[in-house]
Structure 1
């Protein structure tokens, strides 16, 4: 049975991704900052008949927490097949490039970028033992430098200094990670779940968390001929998903 670790899996897109992969036969470690919230989420899925859901306490901003989660999961399995770096924060609104202070930037980057680095580096040894390891970094088409510099893009006027900057940095990390792992079976991609209605955006999205979870799960389960080092948003590009950086 293949195994997957999903950060921020107790609600929203992370929870729906867990549901999708459980339905496909994966054993899912559902990471959550608050263990009780994670346990409630896992119990909900088990009550649906999806028994292979297990909650794990993991705060991506806390190195000790990440290391403890690595030890805990390592006691249960020697192989991790998929890592989905989903945990993220938006940083609150508004987000002015001139008025947001360094502490605000630091808080957002600590979760959305540094947290991904912490978790990826902590679990890379277990991933290397998988015959077909996959890493999905949950990104956003709203961090595309190309799109945000195009006055013709429909979201051109929806500017924010913190969240898109952190995700653009995450995209560069994804490119570098995929490059370093290019001669291995790894597939590493950045994937946008779409503008879906969750707690993250006050449920103002136009799509559903289920749709977002399906998109993430798709790239978590690609075969050996699948892409790596790419950026996908099926909401932006319904035909191929390929999205400009």
Structure 2
């Protein structure tokens, strides 16, 4: 690695789905843990229940998170409130008393940390079932108390456009591919943030596209990778191993 890369300032860290290495992802304990560790940026995923309640879930199907092979999108909030989110494959029976959080509960938590920015991902599964207008309006409504702290992001470009049309929220587009076509779409959209999975950046030396946006790279698991991405233009990196990467950042500080 070149000396210039080693001297590049480290990017800011995003706690991806909270402190998801130590707690079930997208849960209040995961978010609280990240905030207690000093996170200034958090990211979580939002789906809609059958009765249009925004809840924190990545998967539409509950199998991975709860062991229950059912669609959360077909269950009402009172039904989801009875479900234990324990991530049994990862944690066995360690967390049997954690429930599916509502977006309103996450808002209450974020509101107690006014310096924190939340990246709120609108999931495609809910967009397909309920339509962009319903999903975006419900999420925007719940987020109103912390509007200045939030960035609404999605892999669905039309949904990002819709957020722009009906609200004043900052927006981010999560790229499904790092391609010339995506670059052209980004130039047309001019989002506040561009987000991309690290594994899509196959050319490890090229600078990220320049523009008025900030880059946030997802699924970064080490200080070394974060430093390399910063040298290419990334302002933020997201990690599910928040405590580990934070410790590496601090232990290697000049």
TM-score (normalizing by structure 1) = 0.36
Give 1 or 2 for the bigger CA radius of gyration.
2
Kindly indicate which of the two structures has a greater share of residues assigned to strand.
2
